[in-house]
Amino acid sequence: MATDKAYKILALQQGISNKKAKELIDRGLVYVEDKKVKIARADIHTETFFRVEYPADIEILYEDEDILAINKPAQVDSYDIQDTCEGAILLHRLDRDTSGVLLLGKNEAFVDRAIKEFKARRVEKYYIAWIEGVLYEKIEINEPIFTVKKGKAFSLIDPIRGKKAHTIVKPEELQGKKSKVHIEITTGRTHQIRVHLAHIGHPIVGDEQYGSRTQAKRVLLHSSKIKILDYEFNAKEPKEISKYK
């Protein structure tokens, strides 16, 4: 049976350029049945049928002259959203695989005010996630986090070089050997929730980078609510989290 590079077969099937096909695979949007295609240059059978899952449309939760609140789809980069919202500046970031409330400021004076709130830890940030294993009771994690930013960012617990990080996790629902949890963070380190949960032996479902062994279309982490200044924004759970089985 003939084989070829995955991106070339995808390009032919979709009628797109090789470059575009490679980009779709690199962004994690291409599947064969329920398995994500991870290596664009992998040799596979030319008869293989690919499925491309484009991210959901970007939903505006709220907008006024100062702030823009977006319900970010998973598999979209926070900076790509900033690029599509002309004149707006990211006030924080969500990981590419994380969905939910993402805030942008619309003028310099408000951006300065909002960033001061983040730095002073006066912003309330709540998340929902499915995690590996059974969590029966509330747990607080206070392990310092150090981030290595060469290539793909990677964070780890490091008592010497790490910066203070604080995460509160509360169980909400059990499904077999998985738990749905509510999370509140008072700090905003890179990959904080993912690293802290992996550290206590409960990596987020689908988070292969930090030890999840369960295949999922994405890391099952969602930014559900943010309170800043006099604002409160809520983003409904996407179906892959609300209907997870």
In single-letter form, the type of residue at position 78 comes to S
At residue 225's C-alpha, the angle toward residues 231 and 177, to 5°, is: 170
CA distance 214 to 19: 30
Establish whether 57 is a catalytic residue: no
| Catalytically annotated residue among 57, 95, 97, 207 | 95
DSSP 87-143: T-EESS---TT-EEEEEEESSHHHHHHHHHHHHTT--EEEEEEEEES---S-EEE--
- Comparing C-alpha atoms, which of 131, 122, 116, 120 is closest to residue 204? 131
**Catalytic site residues?**
95
